[in-house]
Structure 1
Amino acid sequence: MRKIAIPITRDNQIESHFGRSKFYEIYLFSSNNEILDIQLLETQHKRACKSDIFNELASKGVSCLLSENIGDKAYHKFNEAGIQVIRGCSGDSSDVILKYVENQISDRGSNCVKPHKSHSNHSCHN
């Protein structure tokens, strides 16, 4: 079995930048890639990247995070916690998780390169 986490907005869209994440869906999969359970984790942190969400998700058994944009520090903190990060995911979380299970999603291979207050103030390298 494996667990995959997705940072989401209140309307189940993947959060455009990990640092703003307050909600996470955590999917539990069987060895046959069947969804066994979905949990919603709500954090009390204003900025996910400055929280201990990395270790919190690792303690829940999460092995992979599907994210749209993520900074270098957060990316490395997830790796240190033993969680693989797949970058470049966007859209409805249920659609993305199904594409991931069908091997239709791959990591875009780059992180956001500078801190920001609004994601529209810079371009993430895709």
Structure 2
Amino acid sequence: MKKIAIPINENGMLDGHFGHCKFFNVFTEENGQIINQERVIPPPHEPGVLPKWLSEQGVTDVITGGMGQMALKLFNQRGVNAFVGAPQESSVDLVHGFLNNSLSLTANYCDHEHHEGCNGH
């Protein structure tokens, strides 16, 4: 079983600002099928909060457009896989692509440590 978190905006589309997103869609997968989906409100953005909070929610995988190196390191330390470079699509399309091994990832949108809004650490 996997729990996959995707930062989203109000319309359910990938939010490119991981560290400052308004919501996460969290999908629970079992045997290749989505068995649950919920929209959750993250805690206020502070360094280190989101990786800790998401891992405490049982999240195993995060799909995002970009994320700072510190956040990537913190997810790694907690055993959470972080996939960066996702296209700006709906979270439902992204999770289906992820589960079907057809999700196309590009470069990390956040290519420097202190870019306001994408560092998420």
Same fold (TM over 0.5): yes
Under a length normalisation based on structure 1, what TM-score does the superposition of the two structures give? 0.81
Whether the aligned pair in 1 keeps the contact of 2:24 and 2:41 (CA below 8 Å) is: yes
The offset of 1:44, in angstroms, is 3.7
Matched residue SS, 2:60? strand
Q: Counterpart in 2 of 1:25?
A: 25
Q: Which sections of structure 1, spanning at least 5 residues, go unmatched?
A: 120-126
Q: CA deviation at 1:81?
A: 1.5
Amino acid in the other structure paired with 1:17: H
SS of corresponding position for 1:62? coil
**C-alpha distance in 1, partners of 2:117/2:3?**
30
Aligned residues: 116
Displacement of 1:64 in angstroms is 0.5
Give 1:123's aligned residue: none
Secondary structure (helix, strand or coil) at the match of 1:50 reads coil
Q: Look up the match of 2:38.
A: 39
For 2:77 and 2:59, the matched residues in 1 are separated by 13
- Mapped to 2, the partners of 1:27 and 1:118 lie a distance apart of 24
- Does structure 1 residue 11 correspond to structure 2 residue 11? yes
2:100 is matched with which residue? 102
Kindly report structure 1 stretches of 4+ aligned residues shifted beyond 6 Å.
none
Shift of 1:57: 1.2
What is the TM-score normalised by the length of structure 2? 0.84
Question: What amino acid sits opposite 1:93 in the alignment?
Answer: S
Q: Is the radius of gyration larger for structure 1 or structure 2?
A: 1
Give the alignment of 1:45-64 within 5 angstroms: 45=44, 47=45, 50-64=47-61
Identity, % of aligned pairs? 24
Following superposition, the deviation at residue 75 of structure 1 comes to 1.1
